[in-house]
Amino acid sequence: MHASGPFEVKLAPQPAAPGIEQANLGRQTIDKQFHGDLEATSLGEMLSAMGHVQGSAGYVAIERVTGTLHGKRGSFVLQHTGTMDRGVPQLAITVVPDSGTDELVGLSGSMQIQIEQGRHAYTFDYTLS
């Protein structure tokens, strides 16, 4: 199955966890509103690190998505792994296995994000067993 639509995202910087300030990692909360085939909200956290070369960085994130996917209600968790290698992005977003609830039990798949002129959109290829 295939789902797509726009989304809005709010990222809010957070202080480092006590005791790891010297690691110089970025930490943010994620608050999203999905529209289209996925009508949902999500909340999550992101950790990031900048490289020593302009345009190089990495991040990981986990977010719980709650709402409806093609009319089926429930929640699931997305795991992000992303890098920027001197300006070249690479991103993998996958459903955490067995994280689906209610009508989304058995959900698996991967999501892609497009950002054009400041607007965010997603495409989500998934199976529901």
- What's the rounded Cα separation, in Å, for the pair 121 and 75? 19
Predicted local distance difference test score (pLDDT) of residue 93: 98
- What's the rounded Cα separation, in Å, for the pair 38 and 3? 7
Per-domain residue ranges of the chain:
2-17+25-128
pTM flag (> 0.85): yes
Predicted local distance difference test score (pLDDT) of residue 105: 98
Architecture of domain 2-17+25-128: Beta Barrel (2.40)
Q: What are phi and psi of 74, to 5 degrees?
A: 160, -165
Instruction: Provide the token pair at 58.
Output: 């990495």
Closest CA to 99 of 72, 71, 123, 64: 64
Predicted local distance difference test score (pLDDT) of residue 11: 97
Predicted local distance difference test score (pLDDT) of residue 124: 98
Tens digits of per-residue pLDDT, 97-124? 999 999 999 999 999 999 999 999 999 9
Tens digits of per-residue pLDDT, 82-99? 999 999 999 999 999 999
Tens digits of per-residue pLDDT, 35-68? 999 999 999 999 999 999 999 999 999 999 999 9
